[in-house]
Amino acid sequence: MGYEVEKTEDEWRKELSPAEYQVLRKAGTEAPYKGEYTDTETEGVYSCRACGSELFRSTEKFHSHCGWPSFYDPARSEAVELIRDNSHGMVRTEVRCAKCGSHLGHVFEGEGYPTPTDQRYCINSISLKLEPAAPTEPKDA
């Protein structure tokens, strides 16, 4: 599949750190409970670290205690691409950025979390960049 953002592997290697490249371009996984956004509660927008495309919002983030940031829905359904993943002796659904094809994580269903959807987008922190929401001005009393 062709993506809106296409670069050579050398271009990606120059733009991403070795750890970012391993996860985003080689479908690696960061260690659980080590990611920058695992327990973050900051309000804002989570974008693809590789291309900047908006992927998730803090309003859809929840604590799943799985070791990675979890979201119950992407910001827009067309923001992510879902691909059947048969690696590691499992059948899973890989989540990629629809704009550049970078690996983000996996989505799971039927786990019983108390969220509006029956899905858990388990996303590597290193695949994301959080843009915090602008602080709101306090109202005068």
Task: Please classify residue 14 by burial: count the beta carbons closer than 10 Å to its beta carbon, then call 0-12 exposed, 13-18 middle and 19+ buried.
Answer: exposed
Report how many helices (DSSP H) and strands (DSSP E) the chain contains, helices first.
2, 9
Query: What CATH number is given for 9-132 in this structure?
Result: 2.170.150.20
Closest by CA to 56, choosing from 108, 121, 126, is 121
Closest by CA to 88, choosing from 19, 18, 28, 23, is 28
> For the residues 19-38, what does the mean pLDDT come to?
96
Closest by CA to 69, choosing from 24, 107, 38, is 38
Checking if the pLDDT of 139 tops 70, the result is: no
What's the whole-number average pLDDT of the chain? 93
Domain ranges of the chain: 9-132
Amino acid at 101: G
User: Does this model's pTM top 0.75?
Assistant: yes
- What pLDDT score does 61 carry? 97
Which pLDDT tens digit goes with each residue over 75-118?
998 999 999 988 878 889 999 999 999 999 999 999 999 999 99
Cα separation, 134 vs 56, in Å, equals: 17
Checking if the pLDDT of 17 tops 80, the result is: yes
Which residues carry out catalysis? Answer: 122
